Amino acid sequence: MKEMGKQKGIKPVVDNRKARHNYHIKESYEAGLVLVGTEVKSLRMGKGNLQDAYATVKDGEVWVNNFHISPYDKGNRFNHDPLRPKKLLLNRREINHLLGMQKEKGMTLIPLKIYFKNGLAKMEIAVAVGKKLYDKREDMASRDAKRDIERAVKERSRQ
């Protein structure tokens, strides 16, 4: 329901760049992230990977799976399991909406990026539908055409 878009001053710590290439994004939400101490330190250093991550709604809670946070370099026995499921904090209304969307055929919950806002770790999560190969080719062709047009306009303005 809530579109995040581009916000000023918030730079993603970890970004899932392949998500917009592989999926059509329908809706996106901002969710809090429940982390243990060394996970926060690792994320602040930018050592996270959202490549194969996905989210599920289980028992009225949203969980992110396959989100890899590398162990903290200076953490000893207090280090965390890199692939442990992480809980997301959302309103009950948002969780119920995500649960309904997830049950629809072809809908997936994927994390888009992680950032820190007012000192707290936040994740942008999206309801998405997988793209077909021809959709990906179409996007690449339109991107190339747009780039060619911009290049031609730029060269034209130089003369």
* Cβ proximity of 117 and 7 under 8 Å: no
Stated pTM of the model:
0.75
The answer on pLDDT for 69 being more than 80 is yes
CATH topology of domain 14-131: Small Protein B; Chain: A; (2.40.280)
Separation of alpha carbons 116 and 10, rounded Å: 7
Nearest Cα neighbor of 54 from 68, 37, 44 is 68
Domain range list for the chain: 14-131
pLDDT in tens, 80-131: 778 889 999 999 999 988 888 888 888 889 999 999 998 888 999 999 888 8
* Cβ proximity of 28 and 2 under 8 Å: yes
Nearest Cα neighbor of 55 from 4, 117, 128, 1 is 128
**pLDDT (0 to 100) of residue 1:** 47
Band the pLDDT of 7: cuts 50, 70, 90: low
Band the pLDDT of 19: cuts 50, 70, 90: confident
* Cβ proximity of 51 and 112 under 8 Å: no
Band the pLDDT of 8: cuts 50, 70, 90: low
Percent of the chain with pLDDT over 70: 93
Separation of alpha carbons 65 and 86, rounded Å: 7
First CA to last CA distance, the chain: 47
Percent of the chain with pLDDT over 90: 21
